[in-house]
Amino acid sequence: MLQLNYIRENRDTVIERLGVKNFKDLNLVDEIILLDEQRRKIQSESDALSAEANSSAKQIGELMRQGKKEEAEAVKSKSSGYKEQIKNLLADLESKEKELNDKLLHLPNLPHTSVPGGVAAEDNETVFEHGAIPELTEDALPHWELAAKYDIIDFELGTKVAGAGFPVYKGKGARLQRGLINFFLDEAEKVGFKEVQVPIVVNEASAYATGQLPDKEGQMYHVTQDDLYLIPTAEVPITNIYRDVIVKEEDFPIKHCGYTPCFRREAGSYGAHVRGLNRLHQFDKVEVVQIVHPDKSYEVVEEMSQYVQSLLQKLELPYRVLRLCGGDMSFASALTYDMETYSTAQKRWLEVSSVSNFETYQSNRLKVRFKNAEGKMQLAHTLNGSALALPRIVATLLENNQTDNGIKIPEVLVPYVGFEYID
């Protein structure tokens, strides 16, 4: 959530940056500023009346001690309506604050000045490419056919058990999944991320705090009877560990990693581009999260991008890095890098990671603060990244590494899976 004082003091900048993100309801900015003025006016009136009521109470007490009963009664009569007036003002204040907060929740984060303009994925900026795209034979197979050929992923069985988008991993396919998860967690630990195991459901307050609500409620599975949400990413429970926490400046950077299954309804997704592992309702992912000093967050987002790239290099996968344009960014992000690997059999790029800096957008909702060198409370910056999401990694590993002898496992994974080929 954007900070109210920043909106108030930088109206034109806020509107200009929201335009880069293709946010259409720009009138919301002025509505927020007007509501804030009304709120502050009511607050001022309430404070003044409360001060007057307190002064009158003291005056009445003093007059009674002096035996000036008639004068005390006159002051009491004059101030008799203060309590009801204050009660009404506080009710108005509560109403204005709720309306103001509701409007603030519908205002997305401002994109960083480095974010390019644009409306969709084709407007994203390619900032780096690495690795040569493998040359496959004419009879090369897409991963869903390889999965059937080697009996390692059963999409039909998953449909039987749960529905489309819930595959069953079998044999070496299941071991590949487990090996990748352990590899990603071990690599994260090497660079200082502390592993946590977190719930895979969250309450409404947690979903609001990291920005999934009210923006993405239609994409999350909702356990209505208990009012819980299945997590779309481990970012949500991990970041919420620090909700309403005052952290110590000397503890920065706070670094966590965690493995969880993730659940997304993916409403409206259909067609060839979502076939196989390309888009699932349930998938596994290792997430990395950082809470950092505001002065360091853009240095950290570059470090996190480099870290994810190092994983792709160790897996020997060709990839590219995109800086997302304003129109393709998430509601809460100020800057996002996407990493995509090339699926040789499908002849297209597949997103496998997003690394984002949220600046104070999440921490303002979370109330993650620290006391700065001047002794003042300040909001921290939050960042996260997929390191990595498994489905499309598995898809490209299967497709790009198919040989006459089977599917060759990258050298770095062999100790984790216990075999060199899927055959």
**Nearest to 212, CA basis, from 103, 330, 115:** 330
Q: Tell me whether residue 239 is annotated as binding.
A: no
16 is in an annotated binding site: no
Residue 365 assigned to a binding site: no
The span from the CA of 259 to the CA of 241, in Å, is: 15
Distance CA 341, CA 337 (A): 13
Map residue 233 onto helix, strand or coil: coil
Query: Is 65 labelled as part of a ligand binding site?
Result: no
Asked whether 275 and 212 are in contact (CB, 8 A), the reply is no
352 is in an annotated binding site: yes
Q: Which residues pair with 153 in a beta bridge?
A: 169
* Contact (CB, 8 A) for 116 and 329: no
The reply, when asked if residue 265 is annotated as ligand binding, is yes
Cα angle at 342 between 338 and 348, to 5 degrees?
Answer: 95
Q: How far is CA 148 from CA 154, 167, 283, in A?
A: 7, 12, 19
Question: Is residue 70 part of an annotated ligand binding site?
Answer: no
354 known ligand binder:
yes
Q: Is 233 annotated as a binding residue?
A: yes
SS (H, E, C) 352-419: EEEEEECCCHHHHHHCCEEECCCCCEEECEEEEEEEEEHHHHHHHHHHHCEECCEEECCHHHHHHHCC
- Residue 333 assigned to a binding site: no
Residues in binding site:
233, 264-266, 287, 351-354, 384
Residues in binding site for L-serine:
233, 264, 287, 384
Residues in binding site for ATP:
264-266, 351-354
